[in-house]
Amino acid sequence: MTELDPYGVLSTLTTTSEIARWRADGLPSDAVSTENAILVTNSSRWPLIIDPQLQGIKWIKQKESAPERNLQIVRLGQKDLIRKLEIALENGYTILIENLGETIDAVLMPVIQRATVKRGTKLFIKLGDKECDFHPDFRLYLQTKLSNPHYPPEIQAETTLINFTVTMVGLEDQLLNMVVEKERPDLAALSTDLVGQQNGFVITLGQLEDDILHKLATAEGDITENVALIEGLEETKRICDDIQQKSELAKKTQTDILVTSEKYRSVANRSSLLFFLMTDLVKIHTYYIYSLAAFQQVFFRGIAILSKQSGEADGDDVDKRCEELRHNITLCVFNYIKRGLLEQDKLTVATLLTLKILVNDGKIDAESVEFLINGGSCVDPGNIGPLSWMNESIWAKVKALESMPRFKGIGDYMQGESDEWSAWFDIEKVEEVDIPGEFKAKLNALDRLMLLRAMRPDRLVNSLTTFVGDTMGREYVSQKPFNMAATFEETSKRTPVFFVLFAGVDPTPWVESLGREKGISSDNKRFINISMGQGQEAPAEAIIRKFAKEGGWVMLQNCHLMSSWVPKLERLLEVVSEDAHEDFRCFISAEPPPMASMRNMPESLMQSCIKVANEAPSGVQSNLLRAWDNFSPETLESCSKPVEMKACLFSLCWFHAVVCGRRRFGQQGWSRKYSFNTGDLLICSNVLQSYLDANETVPWDDLRYIFGEIMYGGHITDAWDRRICNTYLQVFHQERLFNGLELAPGFKSPSPNELDYDGYVKYAETSMPNESPLLFGLHPNAEIGYLTNSTEKLFFDILAMGGGVEGTSGDNTSNAVREVMTNIQERLPEEFETVSLTLKAKPLLEGPSGPYIVVALQECGRINALLAEIRNSISDLDKGLKGQLNMSQAMEDLATAFMLNQWPGRNPFSKCMWEKLAWPSQKNLMSQFSDLLLRVDQLARWTKDFETPKSIWLPGLFNPSSYLTAAQQVTARRTNLALDKMTMETHVTTMWDPSEVTDYAEDGTYIHGLYLEGARWPKGEEAGDTFEVSGTSCAGCLCDSKLKELLPRMPIMYVKSVPIQPQWEASPVGYLRNDEAVYECPVYTTSFRGNTFVFLSTLKSKEGEVQKWIMGGVALLMQTDD
């Protein structure tokens, strides 16, 4: 028994000589690998090895390499698999089935189950439609590269699942050996010899012991008279003494080597941290997956670059050398990762890397990092006092900061110095100025980030950029131009290059240009570019085989269209690269999947590739210049009306730049994602020239229709987005275009008579205002909202990857999940008694409020289904954590959601049912659960006597449309009008609190709880004169938002049922009034917009401002994301 084996389990299942033999065969020397090897060799079931880093299969191949084992390595789907398996079964050979997926062919199940039949003295097993002899020496190994496979229960029951995934400590030891091997090759060589010698000694001693026992067991007569036996024992003793002396000397030498090697421990520790950060990245996008082999190449490159810069290691100053190694390896690994990251994820990864390194090096405490990542909000923050400039949600976050010692008393200090803090809060770039008062000296850089997280999350992206740059170096936050030649230097015949495709970015010219420099081009038939599609599989495979043999470059474009074929491509590349020509290279391109958690490329292929994600700049100016660059002076001169062509084409390029750039503002920009591209622009330019040539004057209406409804509009599926697109065209494409039309604030259309092609380029470069939402017609708050959402996404992604500190232990994770479970269970209300409610409601259904009662009963049914699912799933998870039930995928997903404070089922691949049974929401778990309690409370009050609320909290209903339809039904019955001849219109009342509503609305209903995005509704005297609508006092019209007030609450709204008028236009979203004094405003359930549309609201607007609200993306929302 030892410290690592306190109960003697290892010594019972194996011997030191056997462990030494395993390590000689390539088994990593860490304890976990040794335990895995024991399971492989002692399990009665066949081992299924989870081996993403390929360390297990490397050991097994060497272990089973003896000629008598006749190791056969096969894959599922291989033509001769069954034949090789049959031969191995009959002769007792070894079969290794590598690179398994998540399913196994049914024909193999009898072999996996060891379903043998004994006839006489022989064993037989069924393989397909025939029986084979089963040799007792037969061995089967199953291996998968998948890092987190989900096998069905029958596979788990019939095999021994063994996780060979490398551990952080084990990898650190391996990397330490590699560092020493590179930095001190003399010590490494000596250590390797000593380890080999020691393993040999252990093996020899074991053999000698076995030999002695055999001789003693087989000796006959009096052993004291057996001269040969005694001489053999003496010789064995001499050998043992000799080994003992050599072992003592070797141990002393190894101790000296270990002392020197340990000086490089910090380099190995940092490198191990970097690898595990790389492996976590797949949690935010399926393209971010890397192999240990790829990491090791980058690791060695980092050491090699330093050796070139500063020469060989100086043994006298190891600490300085280690610091340089840490810096160089970290930068090399980060640059390798960054090259393949989407733009939106680069700061996330840089931030996570910085935080992990600072915590690992002991420069910041883990508690502060966790607080920064998770945020915090005080449940009972107390009175906000004089801080009227601060909303309550920010105040709750400020009070939560007081749990950290350095922020103690900050809330009271703010209340005492309200004016000073208010002035600080209102500064646009608040991260660049000092914090007020005594906290300026108290707080460090990380504390400032925590304060901004609470009060000004919109400025945290810029602040994090500065923090990472100051801590790690500017190279971690600055973007160098993509260098194809430098990337090529890292490739090899075994390493493909994978390009992520984006709109407006084509990697083909990069590859072709580099190829010409290397003497490889399509002219000499050594470069082939294949655009993948149906029927291109066979030509692609043939070219790969040819170039692998003869040398050449092949580029396979749009591989995302060939999802069923790319696994074959991965296997083909693996096979041909074994003995490929040194000039063979494979370049692959594909669009990223629609969702980051979706897979459209095989995991093993992505692990081996060098990934390149070189997105085009997203600014309006860069989009405009890139759009204009698609044309030439000849394009303008080829038109019969070159003056009109210049102005209209520049306006079209501006329109293209705006609709493409608007995407960065999320759902307020476009409620759905559209792939506007250069092809749309080019086709529209051709249409423009054709129509100008064919008409005496510019046909504005025709061009706007073709551009907005057919070309760009062909991408658009949402009616409200189509309205935005057409409004842009109405603003940008009109007669005033030739007379200095203002395309955006401070940016007018230049005179086509004064500028030529190059003049337009210079004008766009010099006259463009600074990038801001105003260029898109949006309010400055849109930028604040975009930056705030970026901050939330950044920290959510970091949280999904495990936070900024090393992985939480299993016990702590379980305790955190239990804490959330207990919190929910204690507050979870009982379901409604639907039977008694139905009986109570039955006599009231024929009354005037019958339609409302039907809605109430429907809501009770839906909320009961959700409450029951929550209660049952938490109960199952509790049993799973206690070991009373097997943990299912749904239970694991539920526990993960609890850890992330995410509503279960929000991830589309989750097996949890909460999201499917709930209402649309963007809130986190605890906020949405609080929302659930409020919904239950409203329903409880409503169903007590089935008295319809005078003002309904409309967002508190699962199906708000049904309540509005019920209001129309009630009005239709009372007025004897046909329901299909009625619709709704909305008016904004002078009431702001539901308690102010004393009577029911005439011909409709009052609703409250809505928020306005992109504008606001004035209050009090600012609303102006009041007017009455059916006895309801109303006032105000849409006005510009206040800065930083992103979602102001709306007053009580009067939804009135009205007959449809003949002049109104029927549309998929409702009846359009086409009134210049009415803004037809979409109402959405959440800020995600899109398919959460509920109804059309009519809001009063000043004459001539409707276009402003349309381009501003103004909409009513039923809930915030907080």
Q: How far apart are CA 501 and CA 506, in angstroms?
A: 7
Q: Is it the case that residue 128 has pLDDT exceeding 90?
A: no
| pLDDT attached to residue 534 | 84
| pLDDT attached to residue 130 | 84
Which of 33-37, 166-170, 224-228, 703-707 has the largest mean confidence? 703-707
What average pLDDT does range 88-110 have in this prediction? 89
pLDDT digits 0-9 by tens, 413-435 = 999 999 999 999 999 899 999 99
| pLDDT attached to residue 8 | 61
Query: Which conformational region is residue 717 in: left (phi greater than 0), alpha (psi within -120 to 50 degrees), or beta?
Result: alpha
pLDDT digits 0-9 by tens, 592-607 = 998 888 888 888 889 8
Residue type for position 3: E
Which of 188-192, 593-597, 997-1001 has the largest mean confidence? 997-1001
Quick one: DSSP state of residue 150?
A: -
Q: Which tokens go with 262?
A: 């340990």
> What is residue 773's three-state secondary structure?
helix
- Laid out side by side, the sheet with 1115-1117 consists of 1011-1013, 1115-1117, 1078-1084, 1093-1100
| pLDDT attached to residue 808 | 45
Q: Which tokens go with 422?
A: 């208010």
| pLDDT attached to residue 4 | 52
CA dihedral 302, 306, 308, 313 (to 10 degrees): -120
Return the half-sphere exposure (C-beta side, CA atoms, 13 A cut-off) of residue 246: 17
Residue type for position 434: D
Who wins on pLDDT, 506 or 198? Answer: 506
Q: pLDDT class for 169, splitting at 50, 70, 90?
A: confident
pLDDT digits 0-9 by tens, 1044-1081 = 899 999 999 999 999 999 999 999 999 999 999 999 99
Q: Is it the case that residue 3 has pLDDT exceeding 70?
A: no
CB contact set of 256 (below 8 Å; sequence gap of 6+): none
Q: Which region among 720-724, 799-803, 963-967 has the lowest average model confidence (pLDDT)?
A: 799-803
Q: Is it the case that residue 313 has pLDDT exceeding 80?
A: no
Q: How far apart are CA 812 and CA 803, in angstroms?
A: 14
| pLDDT attached to residue 316 | 61
pLDDT digits 0-9 by tens, 757-812 = 999 999 999 999 988 999 999 999 999 999 999 999 999 999 988 876 654 445 56
Q: pLDDT class for 632, splitting at 50, 70, 90?
A: very high
Q: pLDDT class for 18, splitting at 50, 70, 90?
A: confident
Return the half-sphere exposure (C-beta side, CA atoms, 13 A cut-off) of residue 1072: 11
Q: pLDDT class for 315, splitting at 50, 70, 90?
A: low
Mean pLDDT over the full length of the chain: 89
Q: pLDDT class for 1, splitting at 50, 70, 90?
A: very low
Terminal Cα-to-Cα distance of the chain (whole angstroms): 56
Q: Are strands 1093-1100 and 1078-1084 parallel, antiparallel or unpaired?
A: antiparallel
What average pLDDT does range 404-412 have in this prediction? 90
Q: How far apart are CA 870 and CA 912, in angstroms?
A: 10
Q: Are strands 1032-1035 and 1026-1029 parallel, antiparallel or unpaired?
A: antiparallel
CB contact set of 163 (below 8 Å; sequence gap of 6+): 36, 50
654, with CB counted inside 10 A (0-12, 13-18, 19+), is buried
CB contact set of 664 (below 8 Å; sequence gap of 6+): 618, 786
What average pLDDT does range 961-986 have in this prediction? 93
| pLDDT attached to residue 1109 | 97
- Laid out side by side, the sheet with 159-163 consists of 72-74, 94-97, 139-144, 46-50, 159-163
Q: Is it the case that residue 1104 has pLDDT exceeding 60?
A: yes
> What is residue 388's three-state secondary structure?
coil
What average pLDDT does range 74-91 have in this prediction? 88
What average pLDDT does range 641-653 have in this prediction? 94
| pLDDT attached to residue 928 | 95
Report CA-CA distances (Å) from 271 to 179, 382, 1038: 10, 47, 57
pTM: 0.86
Residue type for position 650: F
Q: What percent of the chain has pLDDT over 70?
A: 95
Report CA-CA distances (Å) from 24 to 41, 188, 456, 481, 995: 16, 16, 58, 46, 81
pLDDT digits 0-9 by tens, 372-397 = 998 888 878 888 888 888 888 899 99
Q: How far apart are CA 875 and CA 885, in angstroms?
A: 11
Q: pLDDT class for 188, splitting at 50, 70, 90?
A: low
Asked if 412 and 406 touch (Cβ cutoff 8 Å), the reply is no
Q: Which tokens go with 374?
A: 């998770």
Q: Which tokens go with 339?
A: 């090259």
